[in-house]
Every structure is written in structure tokens, then in C-alpha cells.
């Protein structure tokens, strides 16, 4: 046992001094390595949440430690006024490995999406007579700033923090008619997650996304992919747009790109390099520490072909889930790569999550009947077997 910490005291202090924003379990995480996390009581958890689809290389990978140590001894921040070395190298790495030529760096997914929304509006101002409307999907998730909450198609948020940022319309995903009807002369962009993550893991259909690409070409509006959750190997391709044989005009990345370090990017084509000085920026945009971590993470993912592992282990998880599906009435096993979900026969998602936590397994329930899995991309079949064993035990007890 680990006696360095008094967990009760820490929890008491947390209750006293942490602003309430979420119901958290009565434990305190202390350290992590690879696929596992440990709390202050020394209890170990097998992590199939992965810091919320963030720790792409698992917990505390050596490449992050090394990048942080080396860069923090060299240059932490030169101010956003100047180019810095890792900023240039990282932008090259991303543009060399994607269909984009230009990158803007930020720290969070919402911030990258804000940049994308601003770029789409700039495009509307410059080329579409001031068009500013952006069409997004119902059940989508784009972040928690005011504009990205307005972009988000979440029923629960409709009346929250009014007045919303104007100019967002929501249409059902995979419904071509609905989106055609929603486009007006005021529309400047369509914004979509290639696989809805927070909404419960629902992928766009290939035909639908291809028709969106054609629609955008025809109307000269921008196709914006929010790949904050799907990007950097998560779906078994480096970027999810590669599944569909089309290219978006703008793509945002966050979560997995920093392997746990707060880092985000907005990428676009050369022809949309249209911001004027001062339109967009941020004190921490392109700060060297984040740049060197992001570069180390993305290099490792590409060089070690970890995207392939995500694809293969994703298939293995689906295979294992399918093998227990009949026994527990699990349905709709879905998703791509290591962004997966399934439905329980009853709305007991939070009970399943809590019992798994108790037995040392971290999973997520984005809706009462959905279970979502998003483990680090380095997961192996041994850990998948361990996950299935714990999950089966929990399901057997809760669904009996």
C-alpha cells in the first residue's frame, strides 16, 4: 500500500476548494504508466478511457518525458510574436502527413474549433457576401466555449447560457435532404465530426460525406471536419477523412495530438490562408514546449506504425465484444479503430461504469444505455482480454 497520501484528507480538501463542475468518484489519481493508472491508495486501474481519448501513447510515455525535459531546458516560450524551431518542424510534420498546407496551433479542441469557425466566417465575409451561418449535426459535440457550445447539437444545451452565439443550424446526421434544405445564401460552412464521439460513437456514412463534399463544391462553401477526437490514429487511419476518399477544407485536431499535453491544431489548405494580422492568435499559440511534445507524440505514432495497431486492436475488441454479445444482449457494436461503443439492453450505463471502476477498469457511458471504449492506441490483446474479463463479470452481475 501507498502511505504517502491521506486520501480522505485530499477528498475533504477537494470538496472544499475545487469548484463544482462534475460529479467525480471518491478517489484521487496519483500516477500512470502505459495502460494503467494508480490512485492514492495504490489501487490500479486498467484505462480504457485514456484520459478521454487523449493519452494516445498511454500514460507517461518516454517520448513525452524526454521532449518536455529537453525543450524545457532550451526554450519554454519565446512569445507568439516569433517563430520558434519546434513550431516550424511540427507544422511541417503535420502538413507532410495530411492533405493540408497550413497550420494554426492552439491548446484545446474548443479553441481550435473557434479558430475554424472564425476562418469559415472570414471566408464568408471575403467571398460569399458576408455569409456566416454554419450547419452542424444534431447530437454533435464541438466544445464548451460559447461559440462551440452553440455549434454543438446537444438537446440538453439548447437553453443553457443564453443568448447563444448566433449563426448555427443543426440537422440530423446522414440525412442529405435535411442539409440541402438547410443551406441558404447565408451559409459559409458545414461542420461535422467524421465519427461523433461524445454523442455515442456514430460514424458518417460514406455516401453522405461524399455528397456533402459535392454540395460544398457546388455552393462554394467550406467543409469543416472536427477531428478533435478522431484524429491522429484514433480510428485506425492517421486522420478519419482518409476513410472516405475525400478531403475537407478545414480540419481541427486536439485530444490525442498531445498524448495528454494540452495541444490543438487547425489545419487548412493554402487557398484558405486568408486571416489578416490580428484576426486570430493566442498567447500560447505555438509555444515551444507544446510543439516539441506534439512532435514527439505524432512522430512516434507514425514511425512505430501505431495507427496500424489501433486498427488491428479495434478489430480484436469488436471480435471479443461480439463473442459476449449474445450472452448479455449487447447490440450495435460500432465505431472505427479504437473509438468504439455498444448498447446495453437496459439503461444501466452508469452502474456498469461504477462497478467496473470498483473492479479496476475505466470505461465510459456517454448515454444511459451506451458504453464507449477509447483506450490508448498502444493497447495490446492481453489488456483487451483483461478488459473483457472484468466487463463480463460486471455485466453478469448487473444484468442478471
Ligand X SMILES: *Cc1c(COP(=O)(O)O)cnc(C)c1O
Residues that bind ligand X in the complex, under the rule CB under 6 A:
108-110, 113, 141-143, 193, 197-198, 226, 228-229, 254-255
47 or 226: CB nearest ligand X: 226
Residue 16, CA atoms < 13 Å, CB-side half-sphere:
6
Give the distance, in angstroms, between the CA of residue 331 and the centroid of all CA atoms in the same chain: 24
State the Cα–Cα distance between residues 362 and 64, nearest whole angstrom: 23
Does residue 355 contact residue 392 with C-beta atoms inside 8 Å? no
Count helices and strands in the chain by DSSP H and E runs:
12, 16
- Our CA dihedral for 133, 136, 139, 140, rounded to 10 degrees, sits at -110
5 or 284: CB nearest ligand X: 284
In sequence order, the 6+-apart residues with CB closer than 8 A to the CB of 222 are 119, 120, 123, 188, 189, 190, 216, 249, 250, 272
198 or 355: CB nearest ligand X: 198
- Each residue of 156-195: b (16+ CB within 10 Å) or e? eeeeeeeebeebbbbbebbeeebbeeebeeebbbbbbbbb
State the Cα–Cα distance between residues 322 and 299, nearest whole angstrom: 34
226 or 355: CB nearest ligand X: 226
In the complex, the smallest distance separating the C-beta of residue 143 from ligand X, rounded to whole angstroms, is: 4
252 or 292: CB nearest ligand X: 252
In the complex, the smallest distance separating the C-beta of residue 126 from ligand X, rounded to whole angstroms, is: 26
In the complex, the smallest distance separating the C-beta of residue 385 from ligand X, rounded to whole angstroms, is: 28
Rounded to a whole number of angstroms, the CA Rg of the chain reads 21
133 or 226: CB nearest ligand X: 226
In the complex, the smallest distance separating the C-beta of residue 62 from ligand X, rounded to whole angstroms, is: 24
In the complex, the smallest distance separating the C-beta of residue 28 from ligand X, rounded to whole angstroms, is: 22
In the complex, the smallest distance separating the C-beta of residue 222 from ligand X, rounded to whole angstroms, is: 17
98 or 140: CB nearest ligand X: 140
In the complex, the smallest distance separating the C-beta of residue 167 from ligand X, rounded to whole angstroms, is: 18
Which residue is closest to ligand X by CB? 109
Quick one: angle between helices 288-303 and 306-328, nearest 10? Answer: 70
262 or 360: CB nearest ligand X: 262
DSSP one-letter string for 113-182: HHHHHHHHHHHHHHHSTT--EEEEETT----SSHHHHHHS--GGGTTTTSSPPS-EEEE-TT-HHHHHHH
Q: What are phi and psi of 157, to 5 degrees?
A: -95, -5
In the complex, the smallest distance separating the C-beta of residue 228 from ligand X, rounded to whole angstroms, is: 4
In sequence order, the 6+-apart residues with CB closer than 8 A to the CB of 100 are 94, 251, 267, 268, 269
Region of residue 385 (phi > 0: left; psi between -120 and 50: alpha; otherwise: beta): alpha
In the complex, the smallest distance separating the C-beta of residue 151 from ligand X, rounded to whole angstroms, is: 9
Residue 315: all three cell numbers together: 478489430
131 or 147: CB nearest ligand X: 147
61 or 197: CB nearest ligand X: 197
3-state SS assignment for residue 387: helix
In the complex, the smallest distance separating the C-beta of residue 107 from ligand X, rounded to whole angstroms, is: 8
Amino acid at each position: 500500500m501507498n502511505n504517502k497520501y491521506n486520501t480522505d484528507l485530499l477528498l475533504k480538501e477537494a470538496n472544499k476548494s475545487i469548484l463544482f463542475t462534475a460529479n467525480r468518484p471518491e478517489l484521487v489519481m496519483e500516477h500512470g504508466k502505459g495502460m494503467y493508472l494508480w490512485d492514492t491508495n495504490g489501487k490500479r486501474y486498467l484505462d480504457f478511457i485514456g484520459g478521454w481519448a487523449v493519452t494516445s501513447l498511454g500514460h507517461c510515455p518516454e517520448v513525452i518525458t524526454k521532449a518536455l525535459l529537453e525543450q524545457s531546458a532550451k526554450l519554454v516560450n519565446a512569445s507568439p510574436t516569433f517563430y520558434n524551431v519546434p513550431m516550424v518542424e511540427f507544422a511541417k510534420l503535420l502538413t507532410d502527413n495530411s492533405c493540408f498546407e497550413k497550420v494554426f496551433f492552439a491548446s484545446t479542441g474548443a479553441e481550435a474549433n473557434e479558430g475554424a469557425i472564425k476562418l469559415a466566417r472570414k471566408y464568408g465575409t471575403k467571398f460569399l457576401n458576408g455569409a456566416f451561418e454554419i450547419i452542424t449535426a444534431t447530437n454533435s459535440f464541438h466544445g464548451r466555449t460559447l461559440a462551440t457550445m452553440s455549434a454543438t447539437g446537444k438537446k440538453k444545451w439548447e437553453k443553457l447560457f443564453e443568448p447563444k452565439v448566433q449563426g448555427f443550424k443543426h440537422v440530423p446526421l446522414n440525412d442529405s435532404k435535411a442539409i440541402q434544405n438547410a443551406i441558404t445564401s447565408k451559409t459559409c460552412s458545414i461542420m461535422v465530426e467524421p465519427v461523433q464521439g461524445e454523442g455515442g460513437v456514430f460514424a458518417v456514412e460514406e455516401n453522405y460525406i461524399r455528397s456533402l463534399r459535392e454540395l460544398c463544391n457546388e455552393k462554394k462553401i467550406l467543409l469543416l471536419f472536427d477531428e478533435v477526437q478522431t484524429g491522429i490514429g484514433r480510428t485506425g487511419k492517421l486522420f478519419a477523412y482518409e476513410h472516405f476518399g475525400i478531403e475537407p477544407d478545414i480540419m481541427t485536431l486536439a485530444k490525442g495530438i498531445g498524448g495528454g499535453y494540452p495541444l490543438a491544431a487547425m489545419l487548412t489548405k493554402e487557398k484558405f490562408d486568408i486571416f489578416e494580422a490580428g484576426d486570430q492568435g493566442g498567447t500560447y499559440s505555438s509555444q515551444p514546449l507544446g510543439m516539441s511534445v506534439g512532435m514527439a507524440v505524432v512522430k512516434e505514432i507514425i514511425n512505430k506504425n501505431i495507427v496500424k495497431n489501433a486498427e488491428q486492436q479495434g478489430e480484436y475488441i469488436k471480435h471479443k465484444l461480439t463473442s459476449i454479445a449474445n450472452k448479455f444482449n449487447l447490440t450495435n457494436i460500432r465505431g472505427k479503430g479504437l473509438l468504439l461503443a455498444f448498447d446495453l439492453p437496459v439503461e444501466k450505463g452508469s452502474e456498469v461504469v461504477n462497478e467496473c471502476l470498483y473492479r479496476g477498469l475505466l470505461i465510459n457511458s456517454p448515454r444511459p444505455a451506451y458504453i464507449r471504449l477509447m483506450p490508448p492506441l498502444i493497447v495490446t490483446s492481453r489488456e483487451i482480454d483483461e478488459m473483457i474479463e472484468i466487463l463480463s463479470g460486471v455485466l453478469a452481475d448487473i444484468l442478471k
